[in-house]
Amino acid sequence: MSPKHEHLKKKIREIKNYPTAGISFKDITPLLEDKQSFREAVEGIANFFKEKQVDKIVGIESRGFLFASSVAYLLNTGVVMVRKKDKLPSQKILREHSLEYGNGSLEMHTDSVVPGEKIVVIDDVLATGGTAEAAIKLTEQLGGQIVGTGFLIELPLGGREKLKQYSIYSLIQY
């Protein structure tokens, strides 16, 4: 976590009972809409990984794409999309996972990662860790080496424990 970015919480709107009862959704659209806050968030994540030798950034659908592509641009790496089931057009692999409010499935093209490539997985939120773990397992299945994970927000819902074997960077923690 980076205490110097805690002020970005003011740009994150909380919506109670969304998408289901009992969930307190962190809406990042105000942060994305503010050019200074968005730049600070992207640069903050990218700066953490700039000293690591990264070949590609894996971004998780859908808000994770915004940060992954921006970080990949700053780090001069490729970007890989991990998408929900049946959204990718070419040959792919599938991984099912649990969410804090249900279940999901993620897919990755089989030619997106070359064995031995150094990969950072990025998403907007780390909650239970199920989605990030699924993206990591897809990457590892193709031979990618995870050098870290990056998140705009980290919620205290067990994700850090689930991913404890990986380097985890979160810009903001709740």
Q: Which of 100, 107, 140, 154 is catalytic?
A: 100
d(CA 76, CA 57): 10
**With 0-12 CB in 10 A as exposed, 13-18 as middle and 19+ as buried, what is 60?**
buried
Q: Determine contact, residues 147/167, Cβ cutoff 8 Å.
A: yes
> Is 100 marked active-site?
yes
Strands 24-27 and 13-16, how do they pair? antiparallel
Question: Measuring CA to CA, how many Å separate 22 from each of 103, 134, 154?
Answer: 16, 24, 18
Active-site choice (6, 14, 33, 63): 63
Instruction: Give catalytic status of residue 63 as yes or no.
Output: yes
Catalytic residues: 63, 100
